[in-house]
Amino acid sequence: MSILDRVKAALPALPPAEQRVAKLLLADARSFASLPVAELADRSHVSKPTVVRFCRSVGYDGLADFKLKLAGSVNEGVPFVHRAVDEDDKPGDLIVKVVDNAVAALLQYRNDAASHAFERAITALSASAEQGKRIEFYGVGNSGIVAQDAQHKFFRLGVATAACSDGHVQLMSATMLGPGDCAVIISNSGRSRDLIDAAEIARKKGATTIIITASGSPLATLGLSPGQVLLAVDHPEDFDRYSPMVSRLLHLIAIDILTTGVALRRGGELRVTLQEIKRNLRSKRYAS
């Protein structure tokens, strides 16, 4: 269900003031996505808090979250290809639009990423590495590819890691986790049943789950449990309509931040090992 469909379905149950906000949205969704809250309130003849309450009533964290998702919904682009391009774009247009779209999302994530959540995640991963505990990476589909990349990065840090993209293997792996272990769960939508089941099992077994997904999703809710970590990654890319592009970049960035943080915590001894790895890899090159 799209955002506009969701608002239409919720309209009869909303209070009269919030219904006026909803009708303004349905009349001109593109303008709604770009107007400031004061202008939205004025046009709806309601207070500014009422605009925010409307956004929460239809299932979003607030106005900023709602407008972010709305922008991805109303700026259609080419469905199932890319949200920022048009059918008749030339290669030069594609370069500018695709790169600008990615850069804008990365800058937004830089501003929104919660440093305290990354601090907790890096601390948990570093403790697992130092104690010789297990670190598992779970993802399915495109997120499974990110999980493999994460496993490769942590493998180079001398950490015992594994990446699983099969739902049955994830359940078996999560069942064998215990206190001190970490399960890093990556999902674009946050609605994959396999990943939610694996996260629940890992949490019950006493492992720390580090969840990289969209805020407000069912999987993100698990990350808010005591002792767990949510690394929220939000973007305007509708996962039901477009191939994951920006979302995959943001997930890879989150993994890079975690890898770098753990590497710094492990200190100089690790750097000696990394230097030796580079030296040994040079012998595999055909030309210097």
CATH number of the domain within which 222 lies: 3.40.50.10490
Asked if the structure places residue 104 within a domain, the reply is: no
Percent of the chain predicted with pLDDT > 70: 91
Cα 197 → chain centroid: 18
Whether this prediction's pTM lies above 0.75 is answered by no
What is the pairing mode between strands 161-164 and 229-232?
unpaired
Q: Given this model, what pLDDT does residue 3 score? A: 81
Query: What Cα–Cα distance (Å) separates residue 220 from each residue in 105, 216, 266?
Result: 20, 6, 29
Co-location of 275 and 135 in the same domain: yes
Structural domain of 239? 114-280
36 within 8 A of 52, measured Cβ to Cβ:
no
Of 45, 75, 105, the residue at which a domain comes to its end is 75
Q: Residue 83: pLDDT band by 50, 70, 90 thresholds?
A: low
Average pLDDT over residues 33-56: 92
Average pLDDT over residues 104-109: 84
Of 75, 105, 122, the residue at which a domain comes to its end is 75
Distance CA(164)–CA(151), nearest Å, equals: 9
Could you report the per-residue pLDDT of 122-148, keeping only the tens digit for each? Answer: 999 999 999 999 999 999 999 999 999
